[in-house]
Amino acid sequence: MRKHHRCPKCHGEELIVGPAPFEMALGGLRSVWTGGVDGPLEAWLCKGCGYLEFYLKAGESLDLTTWRGAQALEKPTKEKK
């Protein structure tokens, strides 16, 4: 939705974008990045069908050492046939 500014479910183009409180996305947990309840998430909402997506504003700058249990996945390599 964020990349094409179009809803992937209904293909609507009327979207609402804004900051999202972290507790909405993770059921009331405090942010693992800031310690507060407002995390670095933004919400993208389709006005047509109500579909909602959350995005991390600065994924590249995320320090995984502060996120217990998380790991970065590497891009899979293609196997030769």
Q: Identify the CA nearest to 17 among candidates 48, 54, 49.
A: 54
With respect to residue 72, please indicate whether it lies within any of the assigned structural domains.
no
With respect to residue 65, please indicate whether it lies within any of the assigned structural domains.
no
> Around 54, how many Cα atoms within 13 Å sit in the side-chain half-sphere?
12
With respect to residue 44, please indicate whether it lies within any of the assigned structural domains.
yes
Give the pLDDT of residue 40: 64
**Percent residues over pLDDT 90 in the chain:** 28
Q: Identify the CA nearest to 67 among candidates 22, 19, 34, 27.
A: 34
The pTM (predicted TM-score) of the whole model is 0.58
Over residues 21-44, the pLDDT tens digits come to 555 555 554 555 555 544 567 889
Give the pLDDT of residue 69: 75
Count of domains for the chain: 1
With respect to residue 81, please indicate whether it lies within any of the assigned structural domains.
no
With respect to residue 38, please indicate whether it lies within any of the assigned structural domains.
yes
**Percent residues over pLDDT 70 in the chain:** 60
Mean local confidence (pLDDT), 67-73: 74
With respect to residue 66, please indicate whether it lies within any of the assigned structural domains.
no
With respect to residue 74, please indicate whether it lies within any of the assigned structural domains.
no
Parent domain of 7: 1-58
With respect to residue 30, please indicate whether it lies within any of the assigned structural domains.
yes
Q: Is 24 exposed, middle or buried (0-12, 13-18, 19+ CB in 10 A)?
A: middle
Q: Where are the alpha helices (DSSP H) in the chain?
A: 22-25
